[in-house]
Amino acid sequence: MKILFYDTKNYDRESFEACLQNFSDITIEYTKSDLDPRTAALAEGFDAVCAFVSSDVSTQTLEILHEKGIRLLLMRCAGFNNVDLDTAGKYDIRVMRVPGYSPEAVAEHAMALALASNRRLYKSYNKVRENDFSLSGLMGFNFYRKTAGIIGTGKIGAAMCHICRGFGMKVIAYDVYENQALKEFVEYVSLDQLLSDSDVISLHCPLMDSTYHIINIDTIRKMKDGVILVNTSRGALVKTDDLIEGIRMHKFAGVGLDVYEEETNNVFEDRSDEILEHSTTARLLSFPNVMITSHQGFFTREALEAIATTTLQNAVDFLAGKASPNDVK
């Protein structure tokens, strides 16, 4: 099987090449171009393409991939809302994903954002670099015996629940599908109760119609004053303009974001300073209690190895005609 790998970064190539030695029937060609209607024609002569959550796998893209004989779309990520599944089904293009690669990696990063926002670590670091060792503006609060509200309790959300429990926090959660394995120490509550009772709120749900802008001005007003909000899941779970309004209302003690609404893969690449200056991400960066990282929650050696292994195994299962729990239906 020949796979065209779109939007290649150095770490992608390294992790996939290391795993390829265990998959002798697969060859990969890498391109830095992302998948969209302009680049889909590059797939001519290949059997499958490998794309990311930032790729444009819309109707037009899939039509071109179909014309080029592509039978398999490998998403090297959990998200697939950028894929026109109806068109993929129409053209019998199988879509497979990596539903879980290292849930602990993302959950650990979520807690890192929560802690850094709470204890003002970024501000403290910058102050000390300027030889200012004063404690002014660095006050935080103990997480011990506080309430953590986890929205979404799949693999990553479950890992976050365990981390919060380890900090001695009371853990409450909201999910349409309750995780029975967590019931020993997690209390499932309504979304409204989670918003009103939580000292730390962490988002770990997929982006769907029902979760789009789940954090908006109405839900923000239901939160405690001085809450910490963390999002390592999908940017569009949060309505950015409303988040900015909430920050200006002094609703948040801290906000930690690893994803953002206007994000593509590496949101700051190939963008002018003028565009960045007026972006909502830049506006968020202007607030001293907001910490933003570069969608690095997944970025550990273990996670990259798991992504590569699962993606290549998906290709093997396709070749063998095997059903897979990683099929997107």
Phi, psi of 56 (to 5 degrees): -95, 90
SS3 for 57? strand
Q: Return the axis-axis angle of helices 103-118 and 301-319, rounded to nearest 10°.
A: 150
Q: Which residues are paired to 187 by β-bridges?
A: 172
Q: Which of 76, 97, 234, 261 is catalytic?
A: 234
**295 is an active site residue:** yes
Cα–Cα dist 139/122, whole Å? 13
Q: What is the CA radius of gyration of the chain?
A: 21
Q: Which two tokens stand for residue 171?
A: 């853990």
Cα–Cα dist 96/178, whole Å? 25
Q: Which of 76, 109, 204, 263 is catalytic?
A: 263
Cα–Cα dist 5/165, whole Å? 40
Q: Which of 295, 301, 302, 305 is catalytic?
A: 295
300 with 105: CB under 8 angstroms?
Answer: yes
Alpha helices in the chain (DSSP H): 10-20, 59-67, 85-90, 103-118, 121-129, 155-166, 191-197, 217-221, 240-248, 273-277, 280-285, 301-319
**165 is an active site residue:** no
**234 is an active site residue:** yes
- Residues with a catalytic annotation lie at 234, 263, 295
